Amino acid sequence: MLEVVELSKRFGGLYAVNQASIQVGQGQIVALIGPNGAGKTTLFATIAGFLQPDGGRVVLNGRDITGMPVHEICALGMVRTFQITQPFSRLTVAENIMVGVYQHTSSRREARRLAWEIAEYVGMGHLFDLPSTELTVAGRKRLELARALGTRPQLLLLDEVMAGLNPTEMAEIIGIIRGVRDRGVTILLIEHVMQAVMSLAEHVYVLSEGKLIAQGPPAAVTRDPAVIEAYLGKNAAQLLGGDVHA
Amino acid sequence: MNQGNPSRDGTPGGRWLLGLLLVVAVAYPLLVSSNYAVDVGMFILFTAFLGQSWNIAGGFAGQMSFGHTMFFGMGAYCSAILVVTYGINPWVAWALAIGVGACLGAAVGFLSFRFGLRGSYFALITLAFAEMFRVLADSAAITRGGLGILVPVRQGFDQLQFVDGRTFYYIALGLCLAGLGIAGWLKRSRFGARLEAIRENEDAARALGIHVLKEKIKCLALSGAIGAAGGSFYVQKYLYIDPHLAFSVARSVEMLLVTMIGGAGTVFGPLVGATVLGLLGELTRSLSDAQGLSLVIYGVVLIFIIAFLPNGLISLLQRRSRKAGGRNA
Amino acid sequence: MDFLLNAVVNGLMSGAIYVLVAIGLTLIYGVLHIINFAHGALLMLGMYVVFFLVTRWGLDPYLSLPLVAGAGFAVGYLLYRGVIGRFSHGKDENILLITLGLSIIFENAALFFFSAHTNIIDLDYTDDIFILGEIFIPYTKAVSFAAALVICLVLSLYISRSDLGKAIRAVAKERHGARLVGINVETVYALSYGLGIACLGAAACLLMPSYYVSPTVGHSFVLIAFTIVVLGGMGSFVGALVGGLIIGVAESVSGAFLGEQLGQIAIPIIFILVLLVKPTGLFRGAQ
């Protein structure tokens, strides 16, 4: 579904993303992990059109979308959420979700009805008319997800959805994400929380200092010495004896 | 499932209150005896209509302009020039002026937003545009420069001039209602929802598929059309326009004031603001003849609103209805 | 040729006046991004103060400069502390509206108390002129020109060398970080605003001998000042100097060619073009 070919993004002289190549197949849940500052969000932003790449291509469903405006990419079925949630503050939960839903309908009644369904699906039905400023962190994360779902995406880019959630909230969101995939949405997610990566992802890419240093099933990747070194420092793999459980 | 909180739509108190207000508004000229009182009422309604123009750009879409008088002035001059120099029927001129206002709005919107201007930069560039038009109006032959344009008195319905101030009052009422209708439509439509999303968070709006530039341009076109409609009406009522009346900062400020004080981004905000400020103005005028006192008070009220009631006076009414009606959360 | 030369010289002189007005805004808006819409109105108040000092107490405006600038500093500091900083809740758009509100209050209070008359002051040296070859330069404008250069230089040095200057630049660049290293951000803003208004006080003293005062005199200066700050490059005092002189000359020359009415169009057009084409301005500022 998504093919990122040798994508690069430069800020001044520094390559935040250096020739990264990623494939995400239809219906998969793929994770992008890496230490802080590795360039994960920059990669997301470049894929989704918020930043113009300095090299490489992004292909969505066989169509080259490199450098396309963000709203057009959304129309083609790829939507991203933000690491720091960006709710429409003065709007209610309902109105927030409706903005996403309006992508496919122009009727307010219809939009509200569809928004209600989505809200119920992510467990926010009881908060439907609440001003979004009154949501908790977990609520805002769900809202971010709900809003994106409103656009009926084929590919959903989730940026650190788990950050700031307690274990219960995390388990709930994991369930929701799995459910979303089961309904036919492909998911590419950035995550720091290993538990979520292990339980959700079928395939993992590891980014470090802008470069992809490993990819594969989660269990294999987390044992990869190069990955361990990226997170814990040089020689950490040796020190830890090479066989590490996540 | 809650079908929508009425106070969110800016209709405080519900339908009964609205109906009552409408009755009062319609009956007003018949209840008061002096022409002056009718004129005051007309001016309040007219100002509310102009305020709606600012409201659409500044309130709904969050694009605060300091030069909105340019639409008013453009509409006024269009009308005046078409009627006086080209002998076009005032009603037709009115329609044409609205079209010109829309085009100007789209043009200003395109230039400003295509080049990424936001916030204070946008406010300042609109100020500059308005000033540019003022200078042009002051020097061009077609606008008769500083002398302004005087519309010859030709009374009659087909000439859009009336002896009776009450007719103008009712036209102003019609305009005000049209403005309310447009704002109400925005509150219920996809276009309006998109503008609000843009106001709250442009990047998130973009991520959800909104073509931000296009929507902003449409918004400014609509805003410009309304402003121009107001300008056209002004010329027919007062039969005179000059560069200062058309393009002064004072009028831009007035359009902004009534909306910010009443409640930006709400349907009734400009009307509430226009009424409060209009009545305050009359009150201060009765206390002192000296110019400027009413505006000092407006300035104080503006600061007060920003400091303590950022959602405008109308939020006072919303709070009360929320406490009374409760919320289905 | 002569005609053009005169226009350019006149432009430089009026440009210097614009620079004086814009210097304060360069600090306030250019460096700290406080959108001070009250700039013109505060200048107007300063000019009234100078007017009364001259007419009631016979105090020469050039001599009263330290006094008026000092008063300007106090007024600015208190305004920021008491109104602008307090009520804006940190949001740019609120600052825009609050300073707009202040400008409305000041202008109309002046209108109420002093009514719409224009007033000028007449001093011994008001009509003195320097003659350089074919060029006539009024003494008062020459003083303004020199003062503009000096003030720009002094402020530029102050901001780059002094402790407060460093704090200001730190806050401008990275507000949160500045707070973390112990800089009291609100105080820095208030002091900067005070400093900016002090500059306006100085400008008022330097303007009055060759200009006039009325409640709306500040109006036209607002757009001019913002144009200069943006043209010069946000936060650059050298930029403000160059920008102001360019604006002055542009206005004067276009006035010479297009006539006095239409010539005024130079300023809004320059502003619009700068914003659209090169909003970062000519020079790199303190930011």
Write the DSSP string, chain C.
-HHHHHHHHHHHHHHHHHHHHHHHHIIIIIIT----TTHHHHHHHHHHHHHHHHHHH---TTTTHHHHHHHHHHHHHHHIIIIIHHHSTT-HHHHHHHHHHHHHHHHHHHHHHHTT--B----TTTT-EEEETTEEEEHHHHHHHHHHHHHHHHHHHHHHHSHHHHHHHHHHH-HHHHHHTT--HHHHHHHHHHHHHHHHHHHHHHHGGGS-B-TTHHHHHHHHHHHHHHHH-TT-HHHHHHHHHHHHHHHHHHHHHH-HHHHTTHHHHHHHHHHHH-TT-SS----
Q: What is the pLDDT of residue B320?
A: 62
Supply the range of the domain harboring residue A65: 2-82+154-239
What are the distances in angstroms from CA C158 to CA A52, C23, C72, C151?
Answer: 40, 13, 18, 10
Q: What is the pLDDT of residue A226?
A: 81
Q: Do B245 and B153 touch, CB atoms closer than 8 A? A: no
Answer yes or no: is A76 within a domain. Answer: yes
Q: Coil, strand, or helix at residue A30?
A: strand
Measured between alpha carbons, how far is B323 from B12 in angstroms, rounded to an integer? 12
Measured between alpha carbons, how far is C54 from C70 in angstroms, rounded to an integer? 17
Least confident of A206-210, B19-23, B159-163: B159-163
Predicted confidence (pLDDT) per residue in B193-229, tens digit: 999 999 999 999 999 999 999 999 999 999 999 999 9
Answer yes or no: is A141 within a domain. Answer: no
Question: Is B209–A103 a contact, with Cβ atoms under 8 angstroms apart?
Answer: yes
Helix (H) or strand (E) holding C129, with range, is: strand C129-132
Residue of C nearest to B293 (CA): C112
- Which of chain B's residues have a Cβ under 8 Å away from the Cβ of C262? 135-136, 138-139
Residue of B nearest to C100 (CA): B299
Q: What is the pLDDT of residue B9?
A: 47
Picking from B188, B200, B212, the nearest residue to A91 by CB comes out as B200
**CATH at A226:** 3.40.50.300
Picking from B190, B196, B209, the nearest residue to A74 by CB comes out as B209
Looking at the complex, does the CB of residue B297 fall below 8 Å from at least one CB of chain A? no
Predicted confidence (pLDDT) per residue in C31-74, tens digit: 778 889 999 999 999 999 999 999 888 888 888 999 999 999 99
- Cβ contacts of residue C153 below 8 Å, gap of 6+? C237
- Which of chain B's residues have a Cβ under 8 Å away from the Cβ of C271? 124-125, 128
Question: Is C101–B306 a contact, with Cβ atoms under 8 angstroms apart?
Answer: yes
- Highest average pLDDT, of B169-173, B318-322, C184-188, comes from B169-173
For chain A positions 52-71, those within 8 Å of chain B (CB to CB) are 69-71
Determine the topology of domain B14-325 in CATH: ABC transporter involved in vitamin B12 uptake, BtuC (1.10.3470)
pLDDT at C198 over 70: yes
pLDDT band at B35 (very low <50, low <70, confident <90, very high): confident
Alpha helices in C80-138 (DSSP H): 85-87, 92-114
Rounded to an integer, the average pLDDT of B122-144 is 92
**What is the phi/psi pair of residue C197, to 5°?**
-75, -30
- pLDDT above 70: percentage of residues in chain C: 99
Residue of C nearest to B133 (CA): C265
Rounded to an integer, the average pLDDT of C90-105 is 90
Question: Is C110–B292 a contact, with Cβ atoms under 8 angstroms apart?
Answer: yes
More confident residue, B234 or C129: B234
- pLDDT above 70: percentage of residues in chain A: 95
Least confident of A34-48, A143-157, B10-24, B250-264: B10-24
Rounded to an integer, the average pLDDT of B174-184 is 96
pLDDT at A139 over 50: yes
- Which of chain B's residues have a Cβ under 8 Å away from the Cβ of C92? 119-120
Predicted confidence (pLDDT) per residue in C222-237, tens digit: 999 999 999 988 888 8
pLDDT at B5 over 50: no
Rounded to an integer, the average pLDDT of A220-232 is 81
pLDDT at A151 over 70: yes
Q: What is the pLDDT of residue C164?
A: 85
Rg (CA), chain B: 20
Domain boundaries, chain B: 14-325
- B5 Cα to chain A: minimum distance (Å): 8
pLDDT band at B132 (very low <50, low <70, confident <90, very high): very high
Rounded to an integer, the average pLDDT of B58-70 is 95
> Shortest CA distance to B260 belongs to which of B248, B244, B277?
B277
Question: Is B8–A74 a contact, with Cβ atoms under 8 angstroms apart?
Answer: no
Output the average pLDDT for chain B: 89
Q: What is the pLDDT of residue A112?
A: 94
**What is the phi/psi pair of residue C190, to 5°?**
-65, -40
Q: What is the pLDDT of residue B13?
A: 61
Q: What is the pLDDT of residue B303?
A: 94
Measured between alpha carbons, how far is B134 from B128 in angstroms, rounded to an integer? 10
Looking at the complex, does the CB of residue A114 fall below 8 Å from at least one CB of chain B? no
Looking at the complex, does the CB of residue B292 fall below 8 Å from at least one CB of chain C? yes
Question: Is B296–C110 a contact, with Cβ atoms under 8 angstroms apart?
Answer: no
Its ipTM equals 0.90
Amino acid sitting at position B219: C
Cβ atoms within 10 Å, residue B147? 10
How many folded domains does chain A comprise?
1
Question: Is A108–B188 a contact, with Cβ atoms under 8 angstroms apart?
Answer: yes
Q: What is the pLDDT of residue B271?
A: 95
What are the distances in angstroms from CA A155 to CA A48, A60, A62, A81, A84?
Answer: 11, 9, 13, 11, 20
Select from C95, C108, C269 the residue whose CB has the most chain B CBs within 10 Å, as the one to mutate to test that interface.
Answer: C108
- Which of chain B's residues have a Cβ under 8 Å away from the Cβ of C279? 117, 121
pTM of the full structure: 0.90
- Which of chain B's residues have a Cβ under 8 Å away from the Cβ of A95? 193, 196
Question: Is B329–A100 a contact, with Cβ atoms under 8 angstroms apart?
Answer: no
Question: Is B203–A116 a contact, with Cβ atoms under 8 angstroms apart?
Answer: no
What are the distances in angstroms from CA C97 to CA B299, C38, C106, C263?
Answer: 10, 10, 14, 30
Q: What share of chain C is helix, strand, coil (3-state, %, to 5)?
A: 75, 5, 20
Rounded to an integer, the average pLDDT of B79-105 is 94
Picking from B138, B293, B306, the nearest residue to C94 by CB comes out as B306
Q: What is the pLDDT of residue B44?
A: 96
Q: What is the pLDDT of residue A2?
A: 83
pLDDT at A229 over 90: no
Output the average pLDDT for chain C: 88
Picking from B190, B201, B327, the nearest residue to A88 by CB comes out as B201
